[in-house]
Chains A and B, each alone.
Chain A
Amino acid sequence: EAGVAQSPRYKIIEKRQSVAFWCNPISGHATLYWYQQILGQGPKLLIQFQNNGVVDDSQLPKDRFSAERLKGVDSTLKIQPAKLEDSAVYLCASSLGGLSVADTQYFGPGTRLTVL
Chain B
Amino acid sequence: AQTVTQSQPEMSVQEAETVTLSCTYDTSESDYYLFWYKQPPSRQMILVIRQEAYKQQNATENRFSVNFQKAAKSFSLKISDSQLGDAAMYFCAYRGSNYKLTFGKGTLLTVNP
Which residues of A come within 8 Å of B, CB atoms? 3, 33, 40-45, 48, 55-56, 89, 91, 93, 98-110, 112
Contacts and interface: CB of A to CB of B under 8 A. Distances in A.
Contacts, number: 61
Contacts of A3: 44
A29 to B, nearest CB: 14
A101 B101 contact: no
Contacts of B33: 101-102
A108 B45 CA distance: 7
Contacts of B56: none
Given A108-B44, A110-B43, A42 B104 contact: yes
B43 A112 contact: yes
Chain B interface: which size bin?
Answer: 20 to 34
Nearest to B31: A101
A103 B99 contact: yes
Q: Is chain A's binding surface mostly helix, strand, loop or mixed?
A: loop
Nearest to B101: A105
Nearest to A91: B45
Given A41-B105, A42-B91, A106 B99 contact: no
Contact of B103 (A42, A104, A106): A42
B47 interface: yes
B43 A40 contact: no
Contacts of A105: 47, 101
A91 B52 CA distance: 25
Nearest to B103: A42
Interface string B5-31: 000000000000000000000000001
B32 interface: yes
A106 B46 CA distance: 7
Interface string B39-81: 0001111110010100000000000000000000000000000
Contacts of B44: 3, 107-110
Contacts of B95: 101, 103
Q: Which 8 A-B pairs have the closest CB atoms?
A: A42-B103, A107-B45, A110-B43, A109-B44, A42-B91, A43-B103, A101-B33, A42-B105
Nearest to A100: B99
